[in-house]
Structure 1
Amino acid sequence: MNNVINKLAALVRSWAPSDPSSTGTIVVRLLSEFGRGHARSYGLAFVFMGLGAACTAGTAYLIGSAVNQVYVSRSFYGVAAVSLAAIVIFAVKGVATYGQAVTLARISNSIIATNQKRMFDRLVTQNLSFFTDKHSSEFVARVNYGAGAASSVLNMLITAAGRDLLTLLGLIVVMVYQQPLLSIVGVLIMPPAVLVLRKLIKRVRQITMTQFGGTVLILQALQETVQGFKIIKAFNLENVMRDRVYLHVDAIEKASNKLARVSNRSTPLMETLGGIAIASVLLIGGYSVLVLDATPGGFISFITAFILAYEPAKRLARLNLELQSGLVGVRILFELLDLPAPPADSRTAVLAVSHGDVRFENVEFAYRPGEPVLKTVSFEAAPHAVTAFVGASGGGKSTIFNLLLGLYRPQAGRILIDGQDVAEVSPVSLRNAFAYVGQDVYLFHGTVKENIALGRIGATEDEIVAAAKAAYAHDFIMAFPEGYDTKVGEQGAQLSGGQRQRIAIARALVRDAPIILLDEPTAALDSEAESFVQAAMTVLTKGRTTLVIAHRLYTIAHADRIHVVEHGEIVEAGRHEELLRKGQRYATFYQLRLSDHGGENVAGEPVPDAAVAGEPPSGDVRAAAAV
């Protein structure tokens, strides 16, 4: 069967145009990538189809024999023999049909599973920038729609070649054997039907693509409705979202109706031609029996074979039309599988962190050419110290974290950890050195325990509980009816903001990494929740190198080093009181924060004179641990 598939692929390749998206090229690729790997299974299915086709042809022949035994030979034993043969034929056909269906289903399931894995692998290896301008629902639709398309098209081709073509050939043999002249009539109906179908193929492809595009938009709207349900309710956006979904649904309905009209436009013609052919056969056959004294069994056998041949002939005539609809999904599959893979990372050196000293040396980076985000940035985050970054949004603070995590590579300069250039170490060992807690906590679908355990695969239950206790999360977790087995809901929707943050800190604690990255986890919390999170962060950062992006300046008042980042540059650096005395960017930024809170500090307390005079306010990340 493998040789057959190779020859079939070569045959299709010989007439396939060079266009990689053409029908011939796609079919060749399908046969090469998927058909060849399942050649034996497809061969077995083909054998079952051949048995089924032989049984169908045998049924048509037996009916003629039965008629002759009754009306010509008038032999009861002959009729009994034909009846016994019919039982055997239909039993064999039943087994063959079962074997064909199960074999094709197993092949299909295997191909779908393989494609789902390949598509996910292709997505997960892309760089972060690949996802920034695309909606996640597009990938969901592509994986769902494309994964099964390959097996569907292959099954369509194998079924057409095995079941329909073999059945048609077997029935033609019966027809030619019984009535050679009448067989010519059946040939006359094919050319008009094929000409009509060829004109419909291009339109079917366009309409099917429209359907897929509409499905993506519906998935996008549904996903945004679920994830943004609170905003939808808060802003009374129910009608807006409803109108958006209805618009896309109506568009798909319109495209589906058009597809139904176009794809079935050939049906009246084919049925009419079939009727003409049957009428002609009846007239000619009746004349041969009544006038020329031909045996009625041969005529009945021919009529039976002709009627049975009509459906497989019609399916074969429509094959290219049906193929175009299926190939839309295959093209979507190959578009994703053909995404250029990022260059293979050959770095095998393992980052060894002994102290946790982090240095940026003249680092430059831009997401887009000509739009620099970091401009020759240099700083040092001392071991076991807290290094903070402040500044207006868009200044480049988060980009520093992205570079540290290896999500992007700088275009110039070096990033060193304990003197080791991170450009020379493997990304896995680099990321193992960090524990990250962000402002927007992402919890995965599953239980509290499962989300904490993701910090370090293989963490024991005792380690998970210890991390939760250190993160001040154990008490509220145990207050849930199911404790650590409580489902967190989509993106942690079952938990409050403070609870989600403490779960994230527990996840970072169980990781036990030497360097901590904090993207102001308390920015969106109330005072009570913030006090718990601040206390948990104090446990997390103790004895570790900590880099923190701060929006609430009082939280970093006692940081060992504060860097003011503006327009991709570090414009000022020092301790809190030192920067206030300078009266430059940090002092201005600090006063703006104070004025935003009406003369109170960010914690909601009156601003002490010492702070205005250049002394730090009383609250800080370490003092919060005592709350």
Structure 2
Amino acid sequence: MAQFPKKITDDPYGAAILIRRLVMEQGIIFWRRYLMAFGLMALAAGSTAAATYVLGQVINQAYVDKNIPGIAMFAGVTCVLLFIKGVATYGHMVILNKISNAILANNQRQLFAKLMSESIGFFSERHSSEFLARLTAGAKSITDVLNMLVNAIGRDFLMLIAMVAVMVWQDPLMSFIGLVAVPPAMLVLRKLVKRIKGLAYNQFTGTADILETMQESLQGIRTVKAFTLEGTMQARIDQNIATVEQNANKMARIANRSNPLMEMLGGFAVAGCLLYGGYSVVALGATPGQFFSFLTAFLMATEPAKRLARLNIDLNSQLVGARMLLEVVDSPASEQSDDDKPALKLSDARIELRDVSFAYRPGELVLNRMSFVAEPGKVTALVGPSGGGKSTVLALLLRFYETTAGQILIDGQSISAVSRKSLRQQTAYVGQDVYLFRDTIRSNIAFGKQGATEAEIVEAAKAACAHDFIMSFPLGYDTPVGEHGTQLSGGQRQRIAVARALIKNAPVILLDEATAALDSESEKQVQEAIEHLCQGRTTIVIAHRLHTIMHADAILVVEGGEIVERGRHDELLRRGGRYASFFRLQHHHDPSPLALAPISARA
């Protein structure tokens, strides 16, 4: 079958379609402001053209009429015209900057809102620095594109028309001579556009690589220092920066390659105008003012003409960033909003998994027809080797992912049939890797409940065994925790996380290795805090330290995505199966395991 040539509409992010979209979706909102800016641009162009014409009259008054009052009058008119131009230029620049700021802010909000609607799986496949690049460079590129278009039409095109009008008014033939350089220049610039697109894309991805290395180095600074990786990370970012620098230099060479040719063609045009203009004054009786006015208009027209000629190159360079942002915004949300679904209504908070299967990748089951019940107000512990699927159970309960098969029910309601918001609002989660926001201790606790009072924050901190260490800080609850809570110890971070979960007062508690990374003293304190958290609530806890769940109401041994054993601690030890094997192994390595505050059975 014959291949038809591609149409410009085949690529939804092609230059023509993308420009039209930016204008119609984002620029049109501010059409009143743009109209005002265009009016001021027209005023600036008109006053510039008038000043150019008046300059010719000044020359005639001086060299032809020898009229000093006339010179003074036209000099005053020129001053007024240039003042008007200055005010108009200031006005339209302020208006355009305000529009740009509004569009930039709107796009940043839109991208962030889109990212908040994505699932956990979406982020697991990408590096966060990519989104930082899209948020900053991509959003700015959109405003730059719109500014280029507006300035090209309102400033450069109107200025060029005004200057050409003066030139034609003074001498039509000389105007034709001055414009002979335009067609060859356009042919040269057209060939450079394709190369600019590829380089602009490489520049964007290279900048994202620099951000990635920087972010990983700073966030992992302890690991970098501990393993003396400073040189390795420096070499990596040096390579990233060198790549971007080389690409930028290549882009500069190609983007500016047209300048010598345009200057040469412009030189020919100027020389032709000078020859013809001089001949007109000497042989044809043209006035010096007419020639001076034409030459001034011609020289003032060259800059807007150059910018218009380069417009296609500059636009395609910036459209890459705009495309990077819009590709994320346009993609279907991986976690579609389901607020229209009924809210989860809890009475007992009984959790049931019925033949639940799940795979992160096709054909690789992580959970295989798993079924169990977490009884209301009781503690259900999941134990077993790493990679068995324990953490996946909690991720499914929070609907970070959707089950491949089977159902998860809470009080008989399938969690897939209720809104995620209502599900997560009634669930408190504490993990091994506690995430604290770069804010105060007070704010991090209050994140668990919107509008939390000071009394509620303090009460939650006391229940989490955190109040005493908080008050030992000079700033108390106003103490900054640092990025990721690095100004606090591991045990302190865990207790802040427990306080955040406590203040939420959720009927369902999910604990994922909440004490695994702590020393014995910190574990004792966090375990005591967890005691308060789990009291009277349906709790599912993942634990590798088996002494922390010895008194759980039900212990499920998870291996290979299946429950291979279930029962209470004593029952499982008597059976002598996998649980007993795990317990003996840990007891052998730790003859006096910490059991100061195990998670107790709840009635």
TM-score (norm 2): 0.96
Alignment-mate amino acid for residue 64 of structure 2:
V
Any conservation in 2 of the 1:17–1:25 contact (CA below 8 Å)? yes
Partner residue in 1 for 2:227: 235
SS of structure 2 residue aligned to 1:107: helix
Distance 1:139 1:16 in 2: 28
Partner residue in 2 for 1:145: 137
> Matches of residues 305-324 of structure 1 in structure 2 within 5 Å?
305-324=297-316
Partner residue in 2 for 1:113: 105
Partner residue in 1 for 2:78: 86
Higher mean Cα deviation, 323-332 or 68-77? Answer: 68-77
Distance 1:177 1:214 in 2: 51
Deviation at residue 344 of structure 1 after TM alignment? 4.2
Distance 1:419 1:294 in 2: 97
Deviation at residue 419 of structure 1 after TM alignment? 2.0
Deviation at residue 591 of structure 1 after TM alignment? 2.2
Kindly indicate whether residue 366 of structure 2 is the aligned counterpart of residue 373 of structure 1. Answer: yes
Partner residue in 2 for 1:555: 548
SS of structure 2 residue aligned to 1:442: coil
Partner residue in 2 for 1:607: none
SS of structure 2 residue aligned to 1:148: helix
Alignment-mate amino acid for residue 129 of structure 1:
G
Q: Deviations over 1:129-153 (max 9, x none)?
A: 1111111111111111111111110
Partner residue in 2 for 1:123: 115
Alignment-mate amino acid for residue 21 of structure 1:
Y
Alignment-mate amino acid for residue 376 of structure 2:
P
Do the aligned partners of residues 144 and 366 (structure 1) sit closer, same or farther apart at CA in structure 2, a change above 3 Å counting?
same
Higher mean Cα deviation, 488-497 or 22-31? Answer: 22-31
Partner residue in 2 for 1:277: 269
Q: Deviations over 1:386-414 (max 9, x none)?
A: 11000111111111111111212212222
Deviation at residue 76 of structure 1 after TM alignment? 2.1
Distance 2:159 2:237 in 1: 46
Deviation at residue 594 of structure 1 after TM alignment? 3.0
The equivalent position to 1:35 in structure 2, one of 27, 30, 35, is 27
> Matches of residues 131-530 of structure 1 in structure 2 within 5 Å?
131-342=123-334, 343-345=336-338, 347-530=340-523
Do the aligned partners of residues 602 and 133 (structure 1) sit closer, same or farther apart at CA in structure 2, a change above 3 Å counting?
farther
Alignment-mate amino acid for residue 363 of structure 2:
G
Any conservation in 2 of the 1:557–1:619 contact (CA below 8 Å)? no
Partner residue in 1 for 2:598: 621
Alignment-mate amino acid for residue 538 of structure 2:
T
Distance 2:212 2:11 in 1: 31
Distance 1:192 1:356 in 2: 77
Count of residues in correspondence between the two structures: 594
Q: Deviations over 1:470-508 (max 9, x none)?
A: 111111111112111111111001000000000000001
Alignment-mate amino acid for residue 58 of structure 2:
A
Deviation at residue 444 of structure 1 after TM alignment? 0.7
The equivalent position to 2:591 in structure 1, one of 588, 600, 618, is 600
Alignment-mate amino acid for residue 592 of structure 1:
L
Distance 2:417 2:220 in 1: 41
Alignment-mate amino acid for residue 494 of structure 2:
Q
Any conservation in 1 of the 2:381–2:542 contact (CA below 8 Å)? yes
Distance 2:168 2:177 in 1: 11
Alignment-mate amino acid for residue 434 of structure 2:
V
What are the ranges of 5 or more consecutive residues in structure 2 without an aligned counterpart?
Answer: 1-6
Distance 2:396 2:138 in 1: 34
Distance 2:529 2:277 in 1: 93
Alignment-mate amino acid for residue 412 of structure 2:
G
The equivalent position to 1:52 in structure 2, one of 39, 44, 47, is 44
Distance 2:323 2:293 in 1: 44
Distance 1:101 1:247 in 2: 39
Any conservation in 2 of the 1:122–1:339 contact (CA below 8 Å)? no
Deviation at residue 554 of structure 1 after TM alignment? 0.5
Alignment-mate amino acid for residue 291 of structure 2:
F
Do the aligned partners of residues 16 and 52 (structure 1) sit closer, same or farther apart at CA in structure 2, a change above 3 Å counting?
farther
Alignment-mate amino acid for residue 369 of structure 1:
P
Deviation at residue 114 of structure 1 after TM alignment? 0.6
Partner residue in 2 for 1:541: 534
What are the ranges of 5 or more consecutive residues in structure 1 without an aligned counterpart?
Answer: 1-14, 604-617
Any conservation in 1 of the 2:53–2:293 contact (CA below 8 Å)? yes
Alignment-mate amino acid for residue 367 of structure 1:
Y
Q: Deviations over 1:573-601 (max 9, x none)?
A: 00011001101111122223234x1x625
Distance 2:127 2:311 in 1: 35
Any conservation in 1 of the 2:179–2:269 contact (CA below 8 Å)? no
Alignment-mate amino acid for residue 48 of structure 1:
L
Alignment-mate amino acid for residue 252 of structure 1:
V
Any conservation in 2 of the 1:18–1:25 contact (CA below 8 Å)? no
Distance 1:530 1:57 in 2: 80
Q: Deviations over 1:138-185 (max 9, x none)?
A: 111111111111111011011001110111111111101111111111
Alignment-mate amino acid for residue 266 of structure 2:
G
Do the aligned partners of residues 435 and 17 (structure 1) sit closer, same or farther apart at CA in structure 2, a change above 3 Å counting?
closer
Alignment-mate amino acid for residue 225 of structure 1:
S
Any conservation in 2 of the 1:554–1:601 contact (CA below 8 Å)? no
Distance 2:268 2:492 in 1: 76
Any conservation in 1 of the 2:408–2:414 contact (CA below 8 Å)? yes
Distance 2:592 2:557 in 1: 19
Distance 2:518 2:344 in 1: 35
Any conservation in 2 of the 1:357–1:380 contact (CA below 8 Å)? yes
Deviation at residue 450 of structure 1 after TM alignment? 0.4
Distance 2:592 2:89 in 1: 78
Runs of 4 or more off by more than 6 Å in structure 1? none
Partner residue in 1 for 2:4: none
Distance 1:121 1:186 in 2: 52
Deviation at residue 619 of structure 1 after TM alignment? 5.0
Any conservation in 1 of the 2:551–2:600 contact (CA below 8 Å)? no
Higher mean Cα deviation, 237-246 or 190-199? Answer: 190-199
Q: Deviations over 1:307-359 (max 9, x none)?
A: 11111111111110111111111111211111112444254312222222111
Q: Deviations over 1:20-61 (max 9, x none)?
A: 222111111111111211111111111111111111111110
Any conservation in 1 of the 2:339–2:420 contact (CA below 8 Å)? no
Partner residue in 1 for 2:68: 76
Distance 2:53 2:228 in 1: 71
Deviation at residue 516 of structure 1 after TM alignment? 0.9
Deviation at residue 622 of structure 1 after TM alignment? 4.6
Distance 2:13 2:400 in 1: 33
Deviation at residue 74 of structure 1 after TM alignment? 2.0
SS of structure 2 residue aligned to 1:366: strand
Higher mean Cα deviation, 339-348 or 451-460? Answer: 339-348
Distance 1:622 1:319 in 2: 68
TM-score (norm 1): 0.93
The equivalent position to 2:577 in structure 1, one of 579, 584, 607, is 584
Deviation at residue 87 of structure 1 after TM alignment? 2.0
